[in-house]
Amino acid sequence: MKAVTVTPGSGGSAALEEISEPASDEGSVLVETIAVGICGTDLEISAGDYGWAPPGHKRLVLGHESIGKVSSAPPGSSLDAGDLVVAIVRRPDPVPCYSCARGEWDFCRNGRYVEHGIKELDGFMRERYRADPDDLVKIDAKLGPLGVLLEPTSVVAKAWEQAERVGNRAHWEPRTAVVTGAGPIGLLAALLGVQRGLEVHVIDQVTDGIKPELVSALGASYHRGAIPDACKDPDFVLECTGVGALVFDAIDHVGPGGVVCLTGVSPTGRNLEVDAGLANRTMVLGNEGVVGSVNANRRHYEQAAAALSRADQGWLARLITRRVPLEKFAEALVRQPDDVKVVLEVGA
């Protein structure tokens, strides 16, 4: 079968090649891949920045945002042939640590987890794969190929859950939220905020085009510039860019008792001049909470599936701004100025 593979650590090594069919010991469910979403992680692995091939292999099948159709499943399982499924990206470590043992592998304590298409497990840019039923999340059939948005939605579902847990250390009735960044993660975060009934403000730098239109179509407000110009003292700030200046802008300007959740990964080697004393004073005197959030566990995938089922399907479809056939995979791995979400179409 065909697959897009890379040699981790070697930029420009991505290739479409023939690989073996998935082995039966990889899982009892056979899934035909429909599509795979492209994100910044895929671009970084393709560029050779990081990535880890499965033990004993030199190459890694790329891709972790998937949607597929069950081809066959064992009798008595929760899945049937024809079901649409999304594979959970991170799998617990083999020890396991106490977090992984409780199904909270997104909080793995010893770093021995594995991740499809990223760390020691082949990904989903291949025509077929196998998984066990517990590693798959069934989605509403009405979503169809839009189910490819489930994995990034699971990331923001976790971020919202983490913020709510921190906020509920006291009586908390959030009314306003700011999302920094109008990429796929930011837009999906805004969707979940609107579904919660909050007044949502999204900050990005473009002045026109589809991003402001998508924000407006949600009933949220689009802004350029700093957080206080968009919303004074927001109850919650979800930072989705990893831009250092925006991280500290969020900490400086979240409202009293508010929560900042950081989901963007900042590049290293860039220095900012920060008034550390002011940041500390603001956080302490304001009873503010700052939490980092990455990845997701099964609970968050299920929350994301419910959120996507409630969403306007036309709006979700507009998030996918480019669809690329498998044979032209290289085009999908080059970011274009108007991209929001790029999807690699693998099968029917």
Residue 162 belongs to domain with CATH number: 3.40.50.720
Q: What is the pLDDT of residue 247?
A: 85
Given a cut of 70, whether residue 250 has pLDDT beyond it is yes
User: Exposure of 205 by Cβ count < 10 A (0-12 exposed, 13-18 middle, 19+ buried)?
Assistant: exposed
Closest CA to 46 of 66, 64, 67: 64
> pLDDT (tens digit, 9 = 90+) per residue, 121-161?
999 999 999 999 999 999 999 999 999 999 999 999 999 99
Helix, strand, or coil (residue 332): helix
Same domain, 220 and 255: yes
Containing domain of residue 264, as a range?
Answer: 154-292
CA distance 4 to 208: 34
Mind listing the pLDDT tens digit for each residue in 19-69?
Answer: 999 999 999 999 999 999 999 999 999 999 999 999 999 999 999 999 999
Residue 69: burial class (beta carbons within 10 Å; 0-12, 13-18, 19+): middle
Kindly state whether residues 167 and 213 are assigned to the same domain. yes
| Residue pointed to by tokens 């989605």 | 139
Say if residue 227 is in the same domain as residue 176: yes
**pLDDT at residue 195 in the model:** 98
Does residue 101 belong to any structural domain of this protein?
yes
> In angstroms, rounded to a whole number, what is the distance separating the alpha carbons of residues 51 and 41?
9
Q: Is residue 204 part of a domain?
A: yes
Is 149 among the domain residues?
no
CB 182 within 8 A of CB 208: no
Model confidence at 267, in pLDDT bands (50, 70, 90)?
low
What is the Cα–Cα distance from 95 to 110, expressed in whole angstroms? 9
Q: Residues in the chain, how many?
A: 348
Question: What is the pLDDT at residue 13?
Answer: 98
Laid out side by side, the sheet with 120-121 consists of: 90-91, 114-116, 120-121
> Based on the domain organization, do 103 and 166 belong to the same domain?
no
Domain-embedded: residue 199: yes
Tens digits of per-residue pLDDT, 294-338?
999 999 999 999 999 999 999 999 999 999 999 999 999 999 999
Verify that 106 and 168 share a domain, yes or no: no
Quick one: pLDDT at residue 9? Answer: 96
284 within domain boundaries: yes
CA distance 301 to 133: 14
Number of domains in the chain: 2
Cβ distance 340 to 320 under 8 Å? yes
- C-alpha 95, offset from chain centre: 26
178 and 76 housed in the same domain: no
